[in-house]
């Protein structure tokens, strides 16, 4: 990933500060040493569930690029691979569907009632612009890779940066491999301190940090590379994103050379610091599936199912060995001086010599059969799919499903992903929206507003969030149905307009469809709005009864 630092953010570091480079390098070394305890577990998870992505984790041990490494040599059962891929695809479809708006902006409590309608329309327009930027960017592609890392390793990191002018989208995303990033958990419980180590060629380094070309060590390194025709010489660069101390709320960015990266002698601190900047919102968004107290990195469903995954893999390996024995058989022969077992090949049409009167080559019967393995394997695969939510989030097998079955399946999915969705909303979705809004506001694409919950509220409108909101809607409709059954006098206690507005906000209806209090509304019996409200009032009872039966 090549982060493009915006001119408003980047700048040369103050060379008068001493000890900063050494302090950052020591902090990175300590964080990397703490991460080393996770690397063996990550290797096992990737070997058995996602061998194609193992190369990114291998960088943690090699400290450099790992392209071309092979994986999957000891993989015999693909149940975990298939279930992990399905879970990652389900997360993408349920949290951030590519072609559907999964977020919204709503006026906060500090906005006066008389201005809510106009503010809501402007916020809806801003949300549409942001959604269009997401659709033209590579968010869906990179986020799917992040979800794969999340399902397998429990931790993932997404880089959200500003694209150069002229590109289709103002946003550019990169799924950073775990081998590149080292994370620290802050006081608030979030992974807000991110170190990223990567190796850049001399040309990439000069393109990303133009000021480095003025350094003496860079000129010497380029001269040596030219003489040796080694233009692919790589320099280790360390990107550091750290939260600023209170009361500040931004993030400091510092890019520096890793210790000894320049080679051929020490580098002064003034030359080791390549760039410094500041971000209002973090460009590196790290998030987890779940975490244990005292641990910075997350734990994944693959980790929970890893014993069953390894056992199923071993059972399939034994089944294949038993199958090869069943095909080729086990043979015995007399050592009669004529038959040489080392030269015998069991192929069709082969003629095997033997001495007169000897038994020759005789098949040896196996002591038993291995049919029980299929029962064990079916049970292991079922537990693996259950641990990775494959039996709940998988495709619908039945050609037809009743409304009750659909509701029950949706409720089960909401229960299983409820805790994970809350963590992903806090660590991924909210920071992602805030970072993208900050970039578009700086470009002037959308008006400036504060996503602080008072001026503007960020609302999640993903399919999973709407599933969780259906419970509130169901309870409200059930109450309205019971009130309607009490008679017209009881219905006088219901503000139908307020109910309609609440249902619209809960179900993610666009703001321009809602009439806020104080806004003028045409009167008269022929008013289509009033007719629609009357129809809504008449439909409250049947709808509530139907949802009550389904529950």
Over the stretch 250-295, which tens digit does the pLDDT of each residue have? 899 999 988 665 554 455 656 688 889 999 999 999 999 999 888 9
Largest CA distance in the chain: 114
What distances in angstroms separate CA 164 from CA 8, 55, 315, 439, one per listed residue? 13, 29, 52, 12
Q: What pLDDT is recorded for position 325?
A: 72
What tokens were used for 284?
């590196």
CB 126 within 8 A of CB 447: yes
Q: What pLDDT is recorded for position 332?
A: 66
Q: What pLDDT is recorded for position 5?
A: 44
Residue 130: φ, ψ to 5°: -65, -40
Q: What pLDDT is recorded for position 214?
A: 83
CB 255 within 8 A of CB 237: yes
Could you list the beta-strand ranges (E) of 351-414: 361-364
Q: What pLDDT is recorded for position 330?
A: 66
Residue 363: φ, ψ to 5°: -70, 145
Collapsed DSSP state (helix, strand, coil) of residue 277:
strand
Q: What pLDDT is recorded for position 529?
A: 47
* Angle subtended at Cα 384 by Cα 378 and Cα 388, rounded to the nearest 5 degrees: 145
d(CA 415, CA 413): 5
Q: What pLDDT is recorded for position 171?
A: 96
Residues of the chain under the 50 pLDDT cut: 1-16, 60-69, 264-265, 524-525, 529, 533, 544-551
Check the CA dihedral 442-448-451-452 and report its sign: positive
d(CA 400, CA 407): 14
DSSP labels, 9-52: T-B---TT--SHHHHHHHHHHHHHHHHHHHHHHHHHHHHHH-GG
- Give me the residues paired with residue 156 across strands: 287
Q: What pLDDT is recorded for position 405?
A: 67
Check the CA dihedral 296-302-307-310 and report its sign: negative
CB 234 within 8 A of CB 59: no
Q: What pLDDT is recorded for position 61?
A: 45
Number of Cβ within 10 Å of residue 253's Cβ equals: 22
CB 290 within 8 A of CB 298: yes
CB 386 within 8 A of CB 394: no
d(CA 336, CA 412): 70
d(CA 46, CA 61): 14
Q: Which is it for strands 284-288 and 456-460: parallel, antiparallel or unpaired?
A: unpaired
Q: What pLDDT is recorded for position 32?
A: 94
Q: What pLDDT is recorded for position 545?
A: 47
Q: What pLDDT is recorded for position 28?
A: 94
């Amino acid at each position: 990933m090549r982060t493009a630092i915006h001119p408003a953010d980047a700048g040369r570091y103050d060379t008068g500060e001493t000890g900063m480079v050494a302090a950052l390098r020591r902090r990175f070394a300590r964080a990397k040493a703490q991460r080393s305890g996770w690397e063996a577990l990550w290797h096992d998870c990737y070997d058995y569930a996602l061998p194609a992505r193992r190369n990114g984790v291998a960088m943690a041990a090699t400290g450099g690029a790992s392209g071309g490494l092979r994986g999957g040599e000891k993989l015999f059962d693909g149940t975990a691979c298939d279930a992990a891929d399905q879970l990652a695809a389900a997360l993408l479809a349920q949290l951030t569907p590519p072609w559907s708006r999964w977020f919204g902006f709503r006026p906060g409590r500090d906005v006066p009632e008389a201005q809510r309608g106009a503010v809501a329309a402007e916020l809806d327009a801003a949300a549409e612009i942001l959604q269009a930027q997401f659709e033209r960017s590579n968010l869906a592609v990179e986020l799917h890779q992040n979800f794969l890392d999340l399902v397998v390793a429990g931790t993932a990191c997404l880089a959200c940066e500003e694209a150069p002018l002229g590109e289709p989208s103002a946003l550019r995303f990169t799924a950073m491999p775990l081998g590149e990033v080292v994370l620290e958990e802050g006081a608030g419980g979030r992974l807000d301190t991110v170190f990223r180590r990567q190796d850049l060629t001399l040309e990439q380094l000069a393109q990303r940090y133009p000021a480095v070309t003025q350094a003496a060590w860079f000129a010497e390194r380029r001269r040596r590379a030219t003489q040796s025709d080694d233009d692919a010489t790589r320099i280790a660069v360390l990107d550091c994103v750290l939260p600023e101390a209170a009361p500040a709320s931004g993030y400091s960015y510092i890019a520096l050379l890793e210790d000894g990266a320049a080679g051929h002698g020490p580098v002064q601190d003034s030359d080791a610091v390549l760039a410094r900047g500041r971000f209002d919102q973090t460009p590196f968004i790290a998030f987890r599936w779940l975490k244990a107290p005292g641990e910075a990195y997350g734990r994944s469903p693959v980790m929970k199912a890893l014993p069953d995954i390894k056992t199923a893999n071993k059972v399939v390996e034994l089944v294949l060995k038993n199958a090869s024995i069943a095909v080729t058989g086990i043979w015995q022969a007399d050592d009669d001086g004529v038959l040489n077992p080392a030269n015998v090949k069991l192929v069709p049409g082969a003629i095997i010599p033997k001495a007169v009167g000897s038994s020759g080559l005789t098949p040896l019967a196996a002591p038993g059969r291995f049919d029980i393995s299929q029962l064990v394997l079916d049970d292991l695969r079922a537990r693996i799919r259950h641990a990775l939510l494959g039996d709940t989030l998988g495709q619908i097998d039945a050609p037809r499903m009743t409304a009750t079955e659909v509701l029950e399946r949706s409720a089960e999915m909401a229960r299983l992903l409820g805790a994970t969705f809350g963590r992903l909303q806090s660590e991924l979705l909210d920071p992602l929206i805030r970072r993208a809004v900050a970039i578009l506001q700086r470009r002037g694409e959308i008006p400036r507003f504060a996503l602080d919950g008072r001026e503007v509220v960020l609302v999640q409108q993903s399919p999973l969030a709407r599933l969780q909101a259906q419970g509130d809607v169901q309870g409200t409709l059930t109450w309205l149905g019971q009130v309607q059954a009490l008679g017209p006098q009881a219905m006088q206690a219901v503000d139908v307009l307020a109910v309609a507005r609440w249902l619209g906000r809960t179900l993610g209806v666009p703001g321009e469809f809602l009439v806020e209090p104080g806004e003028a509304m045409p009167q008269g019996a022929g008013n289509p709005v009033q007719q629609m409200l009357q129809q809504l009032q008449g439909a409250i009872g049947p709808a509530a009864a139907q949802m009550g039966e389904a529950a």
